[in-house]
Amino acid sequence: MKPRITIKEIAKQADVSIGTVDRVLHDRGRVSPETKERVLRIAKEGNYSSNVYARNLKLNKTYHLAVILPEKNSYWVKHRQGVEKAVAEYDFLQVDMHAYSLAVESQTEIEGIIQEVVAAKPDGIVLAPIFLNENSPAVERLKKSQIPVILVDSKIPLPNCLSYIGQDAFQSGRMSGGLLHEGYSENYDLYVITFQMADLYNKTIAARIEGLENYFEEVNNSPQVIKINMEQEAMGYSELIERMLTRKKPVRVFVPNSRSYFLATEMNEVKQELKLRMVGYDLIEENKMYLEDGTINYLIHQQPKQQGFKAIQALHQHLLLNMEVEQQQFLPLDIITKENLMYCEH
């Protein structure tokens, strides 16, 4: 049998005091969540049966989690990778994945998925509530279930929400306004472009646009914000570009989701003529290509893989370690340019 690690060795490997190790192993006193997890991991790897792990091993209890995310596009697949990484790292967890489409009619689909998940009585739920609001039947069902929920990417009022993990959408919109207005020397046209009807019901997108508008309310001689939803207005890209060229002003574009590349593909040839500056979101492969060639100037990196990982980590802390979890875990508003792209974790 592998020799059991000593408390002194655990303390050395975790770079903490013996007293801290003792508090963690006997579940008493105040220790930061990161330190507690590190100590317990080292103890487990070293064959030291801490109270927490011994209890779960004795009970042989597996915690069942449900993860409800949009379909696997280039952005949301990263959340799943983070979830899978966390599940591989933490014990006693079994995860069922559920996906819904990003079409405007997906509201009914989400309702059905949540009804099915709640009926299965999982120990915890990870949810991206993109099209949900506090009055929807699905949210009422979640409230009544009292199942602990981790929200990722988007926030909704939910009493049993254990934690929100993601960015401050409003503040990211304000920051985008600053990036677009930086170095202002002549009047320009400012466009906010969304693509599908479903984007009009997306609360995160709405909060980003609200933040952008809030920034420009504080700017002297601020431009008019021209909002265009391509599907709603039945507008093609050639028509949009012609409209921009006709006005003969520099163009600033804010794309408040991961689809900047839709525009960049069409605007690549006229970016110099338009004096284009574009801000978008997410380090998906399609966006990175246009960031590198200068059609997109800035991408705001939301760290979706971290969102997925931290969501499972939070449920692990709550269910297995009986730890308090931060109610809001805001991720940094990372600004990515072609100059620092190579150093970013994608």
Beta strands per DSSP E along 231-338 = 251-254, 277-281, 298-301, 328-330, 334-336
Q: What backbone torsions phi and psi does residue 95 show, to the nearest 5 degrees?
A: -120, 135
Q: Which tens digit of pLDDT belongs to each residue from 5-17? A: 877 888 899 998 8
Domain borders along the chain are: 7-58, 61-167+303-332, 169-301
Q: Which tens digit of pLDDT belongs to each residue from 226-283? A: 999 999 999 999 999 999 999 999 999 999 999 999 999 999 999 999 999 999 999 9
* Placement of tokens 């709603």 in the chain: 232
Closest-CA residue to 103 (of 137, 136, 71, 66): 71
CA 120 to chain centre: 26
Q: How buried is 180 (Cβ within 10 angstroms: 0-12 exposed, 13-18 middle, 19+ buried)?
A: buried
For all residues of the chain together, what is the average pLDDT? 90
Q: Amino acid identity of 38?
A: R
Is the sign of the CA dihedral 111, 113, 119, 123 positive or negative? negative
pLDDT over threshold 70, residue 105: no
Please tell us whether the domain made up of 61-167+303-332 is placed in CATH 3.40.50.2300.
yes
Closest-CA residue to 286 (of 128, 80, 73): 73
**Residues facing 229 on adjacent strands:** 194
pLDDT over threshold 90, residue 170: yes
Out of 1.10.260, 1.10.1200, 2.60.40, 3.30.43, the CATH code matching 7-58 is 1.10.260
Could you count the other beta carbons within 10 Å of the beta carbon of residue 8? 10
Residues 141, 118: contact at Cβ < 8 Å? yes
Indicate the pLDDT class of residue 53, thresholds 50, 70 and 90. low
Q: How buried is 88 (Cβ within 10 angstroms: 0-12 exposed, 13-18 middle, 19+ buried)?
A: exposed
| CA separation for the pair 60, 269 (Å, rounded) | 61
In this prediction, residue 28 carries a pLDDT of 66
In this prediction, residue 8 carries a pLDDT of 80
Closest-CA residue to 190 (of 267, 248, 254, 245): 254
In this prediction, residue 253 carries a pLDDT of 98
| CA separation for the pair 20, 43 (Å, rounded) | 13
169-301 adopts what CATH topology? Rossmann fold (3.40.50)
Collect all residues with Cβ–Cβ distance below 8 Å to 247 and sequence separation of at least 6.
189
Collect all residues with Cβ–Cβ distance below 8 Å to 258 and sequence separation of at least 6.
73, 74, 75, 280, 281, 282, 284, 287
Closest-CA residue to 312 (of 143, 81, 120): 81
* Placement of tokens 């507690």 in the chain: 36
- CA atoms within a 13 Å half-sphere pointing along the CA-CB vector of 114: 26
Evaluate whether 7-58 and 169-301 have a shared fold: no
User: pTM value?
Assistant: 0.82
Query: What secondary structure, in 3-state letters, does 46-89 show?
Result: CCCCCHHHHHHHHHCCCEEEEEEEECCCCCHHHHHHHHHHHHHH
Q: Amino acid identity of 330?
A: F
| CA separation for the pair 232, 207 (Å, rounded) | 20
| CA separation for the pair 111, 116 (Å, rounded) | 9
Stretch (H or E) spanning 97: strand 93-100
pLDDT over threshold 50, residue 58: no
